[in-house]
């Protein structure tokens, strides 16, 4: 009899899902095999591999590179991959994997939990089950599965510190969700993302010398210049509303212009979680646009900062980065106006 079960690889990296109590607080301590044991039998052939055992606060570009390499190298022979990961930086990892693994040829689903798998009322079993189902049925792509929703990874933001509904897909509906009767997954039309890459490519070159600044009334633009003097090669500004920046008294617009004249890209995102940046609407946005600020459109800040790191890693110059931000690489941004 032939084995028709889908083959799934579980790569575990730590996080609350794998955490155990210690004198120092919760620390990752459970292996992928232990997670599977607690979960119980699944209708898939699952292989577990522990690749990291970290609280995701410690996951940085070096770990992104390692996770991307593991996915790239191990993916053959599997129908899908689940990456168990801490929730705190999961949206950043998912966004960066989107850029590092363009043209990914199988579903890669990140998941985690707010409560450790070991706790009786944990959200981990449900999240893992949905992640496996997504890895078995979704189209190729990088996703986050959480609280019964499967979302495009590069659209996700962590919005809760403890609640189970911890992730939201921003400016894009979830690509799939568990049906209300709980027995199936309903896929939506936005699951498919065309890619320029006919085959999966691994490109882990990133430049982490970027900064992300949330604007607030009274921010001294000299701080922005100080960052550049300290070696910053690109800045994401979380500006106000549609992307406005102050020019009165403390001239943020002028500081942004001076930085851009040095060839350093400044991406204007919004502090608002939903909807898009539009620098053309208000004078305060237009001024920044005239100075050369690049609109982050409807991207999350997580996506914008990882896209910028990746672009700088490719040694793109200012104009190439501008063009790159005018392109949708894997569903992270809406280019055409709705």
Judged by CB under 6 A, does residue 332 bind ligand ASP? no
Residue 305's φ and ψ, nearest 5 degrees, are -70, -35
Q: State how far the Cα of 163 lies from the Cα of 167, in Å rounded to an integer.
A: 9
Judged by CB under 6 A, does residue 56 bind ligand ASP? yes
For the four alpha carbons of 176, 68, 64 and 198, in that order, the dihedral sign comes to negative
What does the chain come to in residues? Answer: 338
Q: Are strands 234-239 and 149-152 parallel, antiparallel or unpaired?
A: unpaired
Q: State how far the Cα of 325 lies from the Cα of 308, in Å rounded to an integer.
A: 8
Beta-carbon contacts of 28 under 8 Å, excluding residues fewer than 6 positions away, are 14, 15, 18, 19, 20, 53, 54, 55, 86
- Rounded to a whole number of angstroms, the minimum distance from the CB of residue 139 to ligand ASP is 27
Could you list the active site residues?
16, 87-88, 158, 282
Contact (CB, 8 A) for 167 and 149: yes
Q: Which stretch binds ligand ASP (CB under 6 A): 33-41, 80-88, 217-225, 290-298?
A: 80-88
- Rounded to a whole number of angstroms, the minimum distance from the CB of residue 201 to ligand ASP is 28
The number of residues that bind ligand ASP (CB under 6 A) is 10
Residue with smallest beta-carbon separation from ligand ASP: 86
Q: For residues 56 and 177, which CB has a smaller minimum distance to ligand ASP in the complex?
A: 56
Task: Give me the torsion for CA of 110, 237, 283, 262, rounded to 10°.
Answer: -130
Judged by CB under 6 A, does residue 88 bind ligand ASP? yes
Q: Which stretch binds ligand ASP (CB under 6 A): 81-89, 170-178, 209-217, 299-307?
A: 81-89
Which positions from 99 through 138 interact with ligand ASP, judged by CB under 6 A?
112, 114
Q: State how far the Cα of 320 lies from the Cα of 142, in Å rounded to an integer.
A: 25
Binding mask 291-320 for ligand ASP (x = CB under 6 A): ------------------------------
Q: For residues 74 and 115, which CB has a smaller minimum distance to ligand ASP in the complex?
A: 115
Residue of 57, 188, 280, 326 that binds ligand ASP (CB under 6 A)? 57
Residue of 8, 32, 55, 98 that binds ligand ASP (CB under 6 A)? 55
- Residue tagged 């990752």 (tokens): 28
- Which residues form the interface with ligand ASP (CB under 6 A)? 15-16, 55-57, 86-88, 112, 114
């Amino acid at each position: 009899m032939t084995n028709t079960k889908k083959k799934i690889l579980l790569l575990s990296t730590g996080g609350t899902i794998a955490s155990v109590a210690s004198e120092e607080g919760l620390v990752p301590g459970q292996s992928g095999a232990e997670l599977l044991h607690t979960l119980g039998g699944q209708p898939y052939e699952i292989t577990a591999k522990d690749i990291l055992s970290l609280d995701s606060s410690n996951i940085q570009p070096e770990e992104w590179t390692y996770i991307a390499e593991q996915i790239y190298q191990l993916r053959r022979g599997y129908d899908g991959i689940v990456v168990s990961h801490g929730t705190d930086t999961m949206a950043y990892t998912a966004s960066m994997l989107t850029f590092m693994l363009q043209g990914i040829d199988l579903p890669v689903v990140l998941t985690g939990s707010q409560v450790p798998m070991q706790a009786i009322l944990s959200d981990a079993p449900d999240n893992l089950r949905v992640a496996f189902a997504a890895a078995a049925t979704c189209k190729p792509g990088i996703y986050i599965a959480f609280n019964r929703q499967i979302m495009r990874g590069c659209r996700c933001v962590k919005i809760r510190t403890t609640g189970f509904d911890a992730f939201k897909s921003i400016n894009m509906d979830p690509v799939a969700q568990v049906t209300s009767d709980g027995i199936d997954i309903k896929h939506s039309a936005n699951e498919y993302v065309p890619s320029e890459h006919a085959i999966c490519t691994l490109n882990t070159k990133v430049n982490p010398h970027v900064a992300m600044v949330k604007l607030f009334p009274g921010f001294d633009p000299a701080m922005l210049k100080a960052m550049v003097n300290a070696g910053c090669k690109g800045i994401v500004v979380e500006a106000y509303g549609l992307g406005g920046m102050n020019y009165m008294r403390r001239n943020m617009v002028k500081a942004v212009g001076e930085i851009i004249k040095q060839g350093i890209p400044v991406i204007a995102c919004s502090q608002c979680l939903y909807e898009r940046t539009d620098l053309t609407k208000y004078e305060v946005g237009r001024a920044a646009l005239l100075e050369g600020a690049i609109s982050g459109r409807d991207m999350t800040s997580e996506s914008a900062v990882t896209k910028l790191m990746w672009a700088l890693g490719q040694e793109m110059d200012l104009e190439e980065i501008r063009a790159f931000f005018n392109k949708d690489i894997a569903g992270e941004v809406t280019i055409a106006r709705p």
